[in-house]
Structure 1
Amino acid sequence: MAETIETLFAQAVEQQNAGNVAAAIALYRRILTVENRYAVVHANLGAALMAMSDARGAVTSYRRALALDPDRADTTNNLGNALHALGRTEEAERCFRDLLDRSPENATAHNNLGLVLLATDRAEEAVAAFEQAVALMPESPDAHANLGNARKRLGDAEGAAASYRRALAIAPTHSGALNSLAALYHEQGRIEMAMTALETALKRDPASRMALRNLAGIYEEQGRIGRARACFGRLAALEPDNAYWTVRREGLFPYVMGDRADIARRRERFESVLDGLAARGVRFDPAGPSQGTLKPSFNLPYHGENDLGIKRKLAALIDIPAEPPEPRPASERPRVGFVVSPRHEGIFLKFMGGIVAGLSRDRVDPFVICGRTGRDRLAGDLPDTEIRAFESDLPSLVAGIRDAAPDILYYFEVGTDQLNYTLPFFALAPVQCASWGFPVTTGIPAVTHFVSSTLLEPEDAAGHYGETLVTLPTLPTHYRRPVLDGEPDRQALGLPDDRNLYLCPQNLAKFHPDFDESIAGILRRDAKGTVVLVTHRRPHITGILKRRFRHTIPDVAHRITWLPQQPPEKFLGVIRCADVMLDTYPFGGGNTTYEALALGTPVVTLPATYMRGRVTVGCYRRIGVMDCVADSPATYVDIAVALGTDRAARAAVSAKILAANDRLYEDDEALRALEDFFSGAQAGGGRRSKAPRGAP
């Protein structure tokens, strides 16, 4: 090198080592305008470009370096990593295998190959590659942690834990191993151990973003909102220019609500934060560093308020440029993709399995989109339906759905997890529908329709939705009738024999403060009454609601019996043993209502303002039995006590339900109504023309 180039090169390296990557890139490019035959300059430029997330530019620079010096093993590894970052996994794998053919002892290449194999769902091969890596570099915590991840993917939890612990023995502050070990404990339900692992990680590295974020997630899941807020507050302090953490902190809502004033205060504060960010022009990129796509709190709909405004404001902050699919010739049969979230296969099959299986293939071409882990469960119940399974990460799902070329995407749920909230933003089909799997508007502009029913919606329902509201003439499900095996015994189920049992088996998030007085009214009126609730799988959350009851209804709180969660076969027995089932308001039951009405157990309901509190009345309208439908909290208590204390009255209502309930199960009218809607929606191309009530 000439002296001037040597000086520039030294300056570039100094800038790169100091973290001034943009300055280093400018210097490397300045050198290359003078002389471009130095492999090391191209290689260093590639590394600098990768640090700036420019993987394409890095690939070009690495290839130029290797053209000049093909034996640069580190550059070959870097090229493979850049190709992997671009999703060009076949090229990346070929790169690492070519290097290993020349240099089989290259531990880094074995490790990088393992990462590609793991990303392409070849966990067994990945384990072999990582085992080679740790054999060649036994003191590498990264290699041990990666081996743990591959073993975990294979279902070898014990082997995974051993690998994570080995990584931590080498590097006690290794955040990846600590977080992965915590995630493993979390999946195993060993919550305290997961929290301990993350808290340990933070003691060793108080600025670990990953540990803070994961710990905040566990605290939120556990209902420990104050602790979750503290974690997000620490992240906001570490990254004061990143508004993501502020939104996450202020968007936390307790699983069990306090009182109405607390609900209003929290919602107003969150909406104020969203308004402030919008005024500043803040947008969130799901691919950005230390971010994830925002989603509304799962607990928001339980407040009983109109969520459309908040949801629209949040969606407006998410910067996912939609790429509408290429126009396709209209086909006689709309191609409809049903999107199923990972671990939600069971509830999807209960409500929608019969729909997918029963749609006329002469009119609709249905297929199911799911994560790889759910494929077998869905294929077993839907043997004649095309199942497209992908890795449960956003890029894989987006690419896979685009490749499937749907005319219509039907999201049974939008907002119950990160994936099913984020996917609709990409506008992967001309028509995108949400439905009552999560019975509330999405607020997402790219979701064109919300599929509901005239039986569920009040007259002014259109104002509750950002989507075109589609009100089918029947309920939009083909629910399989539950069957009780044998006659249950109260004592065997842990229920008292000599009490009038009012069962309310809803998840505890549905217990709005307004509902406390209805529980109290029933118990005060019926001296022999016992209200039976089901504990949450997280004892802390059950404890919060118990404390609220002791505060709001102290005279009768001791007459609430708490039943542990039951397996499905026993749960139907619990419903059968109940004298009356209580439907919560303003967010009521769905699945439990179908189960209760199949057995003839009366469900007392007070229809709410929004559809999420109107499923039970929709079922009653479908079968023409309105005896259990109240029009006020006072009549709710009246109906419940009358049925709970009068066996003859209860038997008469039960007989009416049993005589008419066939109309709720395996309802073929729903198939024909959805076929009509899909055909009409395809012809409309996703236009948001308001459909008349009772028609698509």
Structure 2
Amino acid sequence: MLTENLESPDLDVALAAAVQLIEGVALQPMQLLSIADRLNGASRLADVAALYHCWLQKCQSSINYIIQFNLGVTLSNLGQLAGAESAYRAAIAQNPEFAQAWFNLGTLQERQLQPQDALATWQSMLDDKRVDAQESRELYLMVCNNLGRLLEQTRQLQAAEAILRISLEVDPAQPKVIQHWVHLRQKQCVWPVYQPPAGLTHGDLLKASSPLALLAGSDDPGLQLAAAVHFVRERVNVRVPALAPSQGYAHQKLRIGFLSSDFCLHAVSLLTVELFELIDRERFEVYGFCWSREDGSPLRERVKNAMDHFVRIVDMDDATAARCICAHEIDILIDLHGLTSGARADIPAYRPAPVQMTYLGFPGSTGLPGIDYVIADRYLIPDSVKPYFSETPLYLAQIYQCSDRQRPVAPLPTRDACGLPRNRFVFCSFNNNYKFNEEVFDCWMRILQRAPDSVLWLLADNAWAQANLCARAQRHGVDPARLLFAPRVAPPEYLARYSAADLFLDAYPFNAGTTANDALWMGLPVLTRSGRTFASRMAGSLLTALELPELITTTLAEYEERAVELATQGELLSGLRQRLQEGRASSPLFDTPRFVRDFEDAISSVALRAV
């Protein structure tokens, strides 16, 4: 009768029968797994865990390691992580070759914020040959890829790149792995970045690159647009219903919503905070929709205080977040994220506002069908490159980039305090190292050779990039000691550093954005090269607003010649410095109130208002 009850459609009857049979040591392992499967299907995880516990207390079986493993999965799903870890370890103790239990143990350790333990667990699976590329290929790749991902997150970049290369050599057809591998090489200045492993071509690497990586990897706007469209096709759910009314709303004040995870100590907030503060509250109501980290910074507090409404959406899924935005009847939603890391591109896909824009966060076309406009200026996106944007450019009258006039600056350091030589010409480039490439760096080395009384001051981004840059300098016959590396510091100290340099050398094709703004604000001339892409025209846009066209070049040869001239002809640079100081007081780049009025007028011109 008890055995018959196991098949009862009433799960409570079946569960009671199973427990009785366990007490009598009469339940077969397959019967246990069958009833557990039914309970799982009904989302009765607590009953599944209790059933497994009961079995393990009463029954001995050669497959108890499987029962322990299943208990671990169940407890993990219940959020009982300590119990899940004990169950996985018990499964491993009974069968040390049970690879899946080792893998899940590593996953659990990561969830418990023990990344080094997780890395050690997964690495042991490879070292002890518990998985291999032939017999357990799928799990082998999972181990390699999880190692690569977590090594990257913990800034162990070289090891991450190496393990992902192994993964790609086993299975080249892994676009997401290629994406991370390419960007890891960029971060370390491993050149050429696009050097394909066996089984892949240069085209395969380009096709799988993230839109962000291609901003630095190509100066072709068509290729950048293709990467964005490919990303959207692969990652964004565009077949969702539009939430906002197409005709708009009839609010007396336009409701502007800013969408970002960067409302914290981040470059986007460093630029935009005064914009939020100065928007005219007689015309607009300002919302911030945020999934940013709570970093406790004064900048985050300032951003929050600048919003009329600050809405946390971190615990909402994308659909719920979109419905939340729609419920606030936002007239214009401005996405400050685009396709950068941490983006939630599915939110604008639901069209929670009748008009949606992208601004500042991603310097290129997003390819997102839910985005109507990209906020720009006419230097940034000239008519000739408009066809390479899925969005319509919304041109501001003067300059696309906003500035914060209240950014705090630490006391200006001496050159000695910065570790710089007192009487030599100091070039600097505080861009993230992944923006560098061999063409530009080799040009910098030629500049140093032609201006022998000079040094190059760079950001100490990571040890591998630093070693690779020094080695390449050596190959060019430039003493690596002429490359000086500055550690990361807080924004006020970072800004003060600029006073110790003579000329900022911009990267290409991914120009400095916030970094160029900071250098110019501190009175340091920026030499840039402009191309055809948004990312390659950012610094040129700022210099145009400052009326300093002499600092904009369009070819590598012109860029090199201008740098050498400025380093060797002191009167040229001093004249530019004087004009920059004057421009700081009068230029639209740093006239934030004027910028805000232009911004307000531009977005108001495309707002939809229901009659």
TM-score (norm. length: structure 1): 0.67
Find the aligned partners of 1:169 and 1:261 in 2 and give their Cα distance.
Answer: 42
CA change 1:371–1:216 in 2 (3 A) is same
- Counterparts of 1:134-149 in structure 2, within 5 Å, are none
Find the aligned partners of 2:292 and 2:360 in 1 and give their Cα distance.
Answer: 24
Structure 2 residue aligned with 1:388: 311
Structure 2 residue aligned with 1:179: 107
Structure 1 residue aligned with 2:277: 357
How many residue pairs get aligned? The number is: 537
Find the aligned partners of 2:400 and 2:339 in 1 and give their Cα distance.
Answer: 19
Contact persistence 2:431–2:507 (CA under 8 A): yes
Matched, 1:486 2:399: no
- Counterparts of 1:387-536 in structure 2, within 5 Å, are 387-391=310-314, 394-395=317-318, 397-481=321-405, 482-536=407-461
User: Relative to structure 2, which stretch is displaced further, 488-497 or 540-549?
Assistant: 540-549
Structure 2 residue aligned with 1:629: 552
Structure 1 residue 342, shift from structure 2 partner: 5.4
Contact persistence 2:415–2:500 (CA under 8 A): yes
Find the aligned partners of 2:346 and 2:502 in 1 and give their Cα distance.
Answer: 43
Find the aligned partners of 1:443 and 1:79 in 2 and give their Cα distance.
Answer: 41
Structure 2 residue aligned with 1:31: none
Larger relative CO (CA 8 A, sep 6+): 1 or 2? Answer: 2
CA change 1:73–1:420 in 2 (3 A) is closer
Matched, 1:573 2:496: yes
Find the aligned partners of 1:296 and 1:615 in 2 and give their Cα distance.
Answer: 20
Find the aligned partners of 1:179 and 1:554 in 2 and give their Cα distance.
Answer: 47
SS in 2 for 1:366: strand
What stretches of structure 1 of length at least 5 have no aligned partner?
14-27, 29-35, 45-71, 83-95, 100-105, 112-136, 151-159, 238-244, 274-294, 686-696
Find the aligned partners of 1:314 and 1:501 in 2 and give their Cα distance.
Answer: 40
Structure 1 residue identity aligned to 2:174: T
Structure 2 residue identity aligned to 1:354: E
Structure 1 residue 331, shift from structure 2 partner: 2.7
User: Relative to structure 2, which stretch is displaced further, 579-588 or 254-263?
Assistant: 254-263
SS in 2 for 1:251: helix
Structure 1 residue 308, shift from structure 2 partner: 0.6
Matched, 1:214 2:146: yes
Structure 1 residue aligned with 2:520: 597
Contact persistence 2:256–2:286 (CA under 8 A): yes
Contact persistence 2:49–2:74 (CA under 8 A): no
Contact persistence 1:500–1:579 (CA under 8 A): yes
Structure 2 residue aligned with 1:302: 216
CA change 1:526–1:368 in 2 (3 A) is same
The CA RMSD measured in Å over matched residues stands at 4.2
Structure 1 residue 510, shift from structure 2 partner: 1.1
Structure 1 residue identity aligned to 2:243: P
Find the aligned partners of 1:475 and 1:382 in 2 and give their Cα distance.
Answer: 25
Matched, 1:560 2:483: yes
SS in 2 for 1:618: helix
Find the aligned partners of 2:439 and 2:272 in 1 and give their Cα distance.
Answer: 32
Structure 2 residue aligned with 1:336: 256
Structure 1 residue 534, shift from structure 2 partner: 1.5
- Counterparts of 1:611-690 in structure 2, within 5 Å, are 611-662=534-585, 663=587, 664-683=589-608
Find the aligned partners of 1:460 and 1:43 in 2 and give their Cα distance.
Answer: 74
Structure 1 residue aligned with 2:97: none
Find the aligned partners of 2:295 and 2:487 in 1 and give their Cα distance.
Answer: 30
Structure 2 residue aligned with 1:258: 191
| Residue in structure 1 matching 2:530, options 600, 607, 613 | 607
Q: Please list the CA deviations of residues 626-649 of structure 1 after superposition, one character each: whole Å capped at 9, or x if unmatched.
A: 232234323322332333234443
CA change 1:219–1:675 in 2 (3 A) is same
Structure 1 residue identity aligned to 2:310: I
Q: Please list the CA deviations of residues 518-558 of structure 1 after superposition, one character each: whole Å capped at 9, or x if unmatched.
A: 2022111111111111121x32333344444445x344555
Structure 1 residue 80, shift from structure 2 partner: 6.5
Find the aligned partners of 1:443 and 1:334 in 2 and give their Cα distance.
Answer: 26
Structure 1 residue 506, shift from structure 2 partner: 1.0
Contact persistence 1:371–1:390 (CA under 8 A): yes
What stretches of structure 2 of length at least 5 have no aligned partner?
18-34, 54-67, 93-100, 132-138
Contact persistence 2:260–2:290 (CA under 8 A): yes
Contact persistence 1:455–1:474 (CA under 8 A): no
- Counterparts of 1:55-74 in structure 2, within 5 Å, are none
Structure 2 residue identity aligned to 1:458: P
Matched, 1:269 2:204: yes
SS in 2 for 1:581: strand
Structure 2 residue aligned with 1:324: 242
Find the aligned partners of 2:202 and 2:391 in 1 and give their Cα distance.
Answer: 22
Contact persistence 1:342–1:392 (CA under 8 A): no
SS in 1 for 2:174: helix
CA change 1:318–1:493 in 2 (3 A) is closer
CA change 1:233–1:394 in 2 (3 A) is farther
Find the aligned partners of 2:263 and 2:103 in 1 and give their Cα distance.
Answer: 27
Find the aligned partners of 2:296 and 2:90 in 1 and give their Cα distance.
Answer: 39
Find the aligned partners of 1:684 and 1:43 in 2 and give their Cα distance.
Answer: 63
CA change 1:521–1:140 in 2 (3 A) is same
SS in 1 for 2:366: coil
Structure 1 residue 427, shift from structure 2 partner: 2.9
Contact persistence 1:179–1:211 (CA under 8 A): no
Structure 2 residue aligned with 1:196: 120
Structure 1 residue 623, shift from structure 2 partner: 1.9
